[in-house]
């Protein structure tokens, strides 16, 4: 009686035992070489088939295939296990438990100012405005002189300025109005542009004043632009942000770069009879505006006898406060994630 089947089983089991005991991928390669490559157990068995008596050939072929298949599966599984173990070992840090659950990832959110800016950009671009940007470190010329505020003019005291160089040529822009002049220099009428951005003032902070805050400039220059166009645009802006008409008042305002100039104030939503946000007045200064002064048109290279225009300087930080019921402007740039978490945008 032939012992062949038993021998094959023993061969397979001993190969599998060596695979199980292998400590490295190199050990596995040695087993594979001995068993599967030329001259190995399987190849030798296959080569011997033609020499066997007829009835034994089929059994020998099946045995060779079984050894090959089972051994290969065991080699693959062991290799994967050794590699996973090596990876874990390479990352081993005292006290690190790879089986612990990872902390839940915090969901980020757009800053409320960014959310409102994006809405305003959508609104104004739908009306044919372009969105402009300007430098935050600005030349004195653009921040003041070209806006009809010469040196030693008392209007310079309206905005306390961070100066960036001893000669006073460079300033942190105190408003977004310099973008008006830059827009006029590089474009020909009709001009319709907005310019949202950060501005800086060296002033004491309180619930409605920050040293760093956001404004959004608006500029329209064309033939026959009137105060009527200005007021209509201001109303469209506020209706777009609040979804309804909100109570506003328009009063004369002085800004050297507009004539006539206006202050558009919004009714304070935080009180009925005065609070720290509205400085006890029940009104919040929000949207100064006016018809562009002819000296500014000239500084921007535009003929004031042919063109007129209006400009506005939206207090964007204050608009965001009104929109979301934020009672202190200093929350906006505090970087406090508990505050920011409240502004997850839906959708």
Decide: is 148 part of the binding site for ligand FA5 (CB under 6 A).
no
Q: Yes or no: say if 328 and 213 are a contact pair by the CB < 8 Å rule.
A: no
Name which position in 311, 320, 322, 326 contacts ligand FA5 (CB under 6 A): 311
- Give the shortest CB-305-to-ligand FA5 separation in angstroms: 21
Q: Whose Cβ is closer to ligand FA5: residue 106's or residue 157's?
A: 157
Size of the site for ligand FA5 (CB under 6 A): 24
Q: Give least dist CB 195 to ligand FA5, A.
A: 10
Going by their DSSP bridges, the two strands 137-139 and 191-200 should be labelled as unpaired
| Contact status: 129 vs ligand FA5 (CB under 6 A) | no
Q: Within a 10 A sphere around the Cβ of 72, how many other Cβ atoms?
A: 14
**Cβ-proximal residue to ligand FA5, closest one:** 315
For ligand FA5, which is the closer residue by CB, 63 or 210? Answer: 210
274-293: which residues touch ligand FA5 (CB under 6 A)?
A: 285-286, 288-290
Query: Counting contacts by CB under 6 A, is residue 233 touching ligand FA5?
Result: no
- Cβ at position 286, least distance to ligand FA5 in Å: 5
What sections of the chain are H helices per DSSP?
4-21, 25-36, 41-48, 54-90, 112-126, 140-143, 178-186, 227-242, 294-299, 316-324, 337-340
DSSP structure class, residue 286: -
In the numeric block, the tokens 């009835």 are attached to 55
Describe the crossing of helices 227-242 and 112-126 by its angle, rounded to 10 degrees. 130
Which of 192, 178, 161, 198 lies closest to 315 in space, CA to CA? 198
Contact characters 180-209, ligand FA5, x per CB under 6 A: ---------------------x-x-----x
Residues in the chain, total:
347
Q: What are phi and psi of 255, to 5 degrees?
A: -140, 130
Question: Does residue 143 interact with ligand FA5 by CB under 6 A?
Answer: no
Q: How far is the CB of 109 from ligand FA5 (least distance, A)?
A: 22
User: In the complex with ligand FA5, which residue's Cβ is closer, 59 or 158?
Assistant: 158
Residue from 313, 320, 326, 331 in contact with ligand FA5 (CB under 6 A): 313
Question: 10 Å Cβ neighbour count for 76?
Answer: 12
Candidates 75-83, 225-233, 266-274, 309-317; binding stretch for ligand FA5 (CB under 6 A):
309-317
Query: Residue 121 is encoded by which pair of tokens?
Result: 């950009």
CA 310 vs. chain centroid, Å, equals 32
Q: Which is nearer to ligand FA5, 68 or 143 (CB)?
A: 143
Among 200, 255, 283, 307, binds ligand FA5 (CB under 6 A): 255
User: Which of positions 151-180 make contact with ligand FA5 (CB under 6 A)?
Assistant: 159, 175, 177
Instruction: Note whether 260 and 278 are within 8 A (CB).
Output: no
Tell me how far, at minimum, the Cβ of 176 lies from ligand FA5, in Å: 7
- Which of 210, 225, 277, 296 binds ligand FA5 (CB under 6 A)? It is 210
Centroid of chain to Cα 198: 16
Q: Which of 258, 266, 296, 299 binds ligand FA5 (CB under 6 A)?
A: 258
CB-nearer residue toward ligand FA5: 15 or 216:
216
138 lines the binding site for ligand FA5 (CB under 6 A): no
Residue 230: name the closest of 303, 288, 300, 144 by CA. Answer: 288
Q: How far apart are CA 280 and CA 107, in angstroms?
A: 38
DSSP strand pairing (130-131 vs 191-200):
parallel
Q: Cα separation of 262 and 265, whole Å?
A: 10
**Cα Rg of the chain (Å, integer):** 39
Q: Is 307 in the site for ligand FA5 (CB under 6 A)?
A: no
* Positions in the binding site for ligand FA5 (CB under 6 A): 159, 175, 177, 201, 203, 209-210, 213, 215, 255, 258, 261, 285-286, 288-290, 311-313, 315, 317-318, 329
């Amino acid at each position: 009686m032939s012992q062949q089947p038993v021998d094959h089983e023993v061969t397979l089991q001993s190969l599998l035992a060596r695979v199980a005991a292998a400590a490295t991928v190199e050990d596995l390669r040695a087993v594979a070489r001995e068993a599967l490559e030329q001259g190995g157990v399987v190849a030798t068995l296959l080569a011997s088939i033609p020499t066997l008596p007829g009835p034994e050939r089929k059994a020998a072929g099946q045995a060779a295939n079984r050894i090959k298949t089972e051994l290969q599966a065991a080699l693959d599984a062991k290799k994967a296990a050794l590699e996973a173990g090596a990876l874990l070992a390479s990352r081993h840090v005292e006290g690190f438990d790879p089986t612990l659950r990872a902390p839940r990832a915090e969901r980020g959110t757009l800053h409320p100012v960014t959310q409102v800016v994006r809405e305003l950009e959508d609104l104004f671009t739908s009306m044919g405005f372009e969105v402009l940007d300007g430098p935050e470190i600005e030349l004195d010329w653009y921040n003041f002189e070209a806006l009809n505020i010469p040196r030693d003019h008392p209007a310079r005291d309206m905005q306390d300025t961070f100066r960036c160089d001893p000669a006073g040529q460079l300033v942190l822009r105190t408003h977004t109005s310099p973008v008006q002049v830059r827009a006029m220099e590089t474009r020909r009428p009709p001009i319709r542009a907005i310019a949202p951005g950060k501005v800086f003032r060296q002033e004491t902070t309180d619930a409605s004043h920050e040293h760093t805050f956001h404004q959004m400039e608006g500029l329209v220059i064309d033939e026959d632009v009137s105060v009527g166009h200005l007021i209509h645009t201001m109303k469209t802006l506020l209706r777009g942000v609040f979804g309804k008409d909100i109570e506003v008042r328009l009063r004369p305002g002085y800004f050297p770069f507009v004539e006539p100039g206006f202050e558009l104030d919004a009714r304070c939503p935080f009180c009925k009879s005065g609070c720290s946000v509205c400085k006890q007045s029940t009104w919040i200064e929000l949207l100064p505006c006016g018809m562009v002064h002819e000296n500014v048109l000239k500084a921007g290279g535009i003929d004031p006898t042919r063109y007129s225009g209006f400009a506005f300087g939206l207090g964007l930080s204050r608009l965001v406060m009104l929109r979301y019921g934020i009672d202190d402007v200093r929350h906006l740039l505090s970087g406090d994630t508990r505050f920011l978490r409240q502004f997850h945008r839906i959708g």
